[in-house]
């Protein structure tokens, strides 16, 4: 005979398992929870499910954090291309600041 409590609270886990084990329980049934590849895939699923605030400073910073984490996990040509992208962005910022400072200084000393 089934429990009516199970239908009322489907998110509760038996055996006291918390939120940390949910991706392993729900998505990776039958896989070894101690396997490093299984843990990595569970972390990937968690990143895919995470909803970030859009158009806020926190959302942009979370996007930069995700990019940095993915670059740290990458290797070879992908890592090199990510480093080149970051260097191009920093070069663009440096050029913008240089021209901005030039305009400010030419206004004061012209």
Q: What is the pLDDT along the chain (110 residues), one digit of tens a residue?
A: 444 444 444 444 444 444 555 545 666 787 888 888 888 888 888 877 777 777 888 878 888 888 888 888 888 999 999 999 999 999 999 999 999 999 999 999 87
CA distance 24 to 32: 9
DSSP 109: H
Q: Which residue is listed with tokens 């305009």?
A: 103
What pLDDT shows up at residue 16? Answer: 46
What pLDDT shows up at residue 93? Answer: 96
What pLDDT shows up at residue 5? Answer: 47
Q: Which residue is listed with tokens 């398992």?
A: 17
What pLDDT shows up at residue 15? Answer: 46
Residue 13: CB partners within 8 Å, gap ≥ 6? 21, 22, 25
Per 3-state DSSP, the chain is made up of helix, strand and coil in percentages (nearest 5) of 75, 0, 25
Other residues' Cβ atoms within 10 Å of the Cβ of residue 24: 19
CA distance 108 to 103: 9
């Amino acid at each position: 005979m089934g429990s009516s409590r199970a239908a009322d609270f489907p998110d509760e886990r038996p055996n006291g398992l918390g939120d940390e084990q949910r991706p392993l329980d729900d998505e990776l049934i039958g896989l070894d929870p101690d396997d490093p590849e299984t843990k990595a895939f569970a972390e990937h699923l968690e990143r895919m499910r995470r909803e970030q605030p859009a158009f806020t400073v926190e959302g942009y910073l979370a996007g930069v954090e995700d990019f940095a984490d993915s670059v740290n996990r990458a290797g070879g040509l992908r890592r090199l291309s990510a480093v080149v992208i970051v260097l191009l962005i920093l070069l663009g910022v440096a050029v913008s600041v240089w021209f901005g400072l030039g305009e400010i200084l030419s206004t004061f000393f012209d």
